[in-house]
Amino acid sequence: MASISNPNVVLPNVVSNEEKVVTQQEKITKKDPSIFSHDYWMQKHNIKTADVPRTFLYFKTISYVSWFATWALCYRLRPFKTLSKYDFVINKMNSLRAKYPNAVTKYTNFVSEKTLKLSNNKYFSKIPLSVGLKSKRFTESFVENIVINKFALPITFPTYIYVAATLTKNHKIKDLTN
């Protein structure tokens, strides 16, 4: 065994458990950002601070196009009315009505009242009429669109971020090749 007084012998670096924990925490917080942080996506896709406005513009464009496409599909396909024809949905609605009769009645009346009020609004009713659509159906599809987009948000939001970052990266590559 080597003695400590011998200058030619190199001892291994001995680190206590507390120091190991601190260094692991430092590594996590400094070099490995969380998947939910903006730094993670910016580092992963090599997006610099100067590219953030372009990426944000891509993100907003994708989200608005998706929003209006979903709204158009809701107007055309009437998803809630279509779903309400299936026995599974009818049974679920009947069981909800049986368990919570007052709540379902209040909710149904509230939605019907607000839909009618919005479709008769002097400012909102001009929009569908200007493009030749029915005002009440336009309002119903608007509500359907809101519900569908809220339920799909856990999937669509990360997808929008990924597509915006990919478009920014591809745009940067295109700029470099020109």
Residue 61 confidence (pLDDT): 97
Nearest alpha carbon to residue 167 among 33, 50, 59: 59
Residue 89 identity: V
Dist CA 67 CA 165 (whole Å): 19
Which pTM does this prediction carry? Answer: 0.66
Q: What count of other Cβ atoms lies within 10 Å of the Cβ of residue 67? A: 14
Q: What is the pLDDT of residues 10-64, one digit of tens each?
A: 555 555 555 555 555 555 555 556 666 767 767 777 788 888 899 999 999 999 9
Whether residue 150 is predicted with pLDDT greater than 90 in this model: the reply is yes
Q: What is the pLDDT of residues 121-143, one digit of tens each?
A: 888 888 888 888 888 899 889 98
Interacting residues of 123 by C-beta distance below 8 A, sequence separation 6+:
none
Residue 39 confidence (pLDDT): 74
Nearest alpha carbon to residue 139 among 107, 169, 166, 112: 112
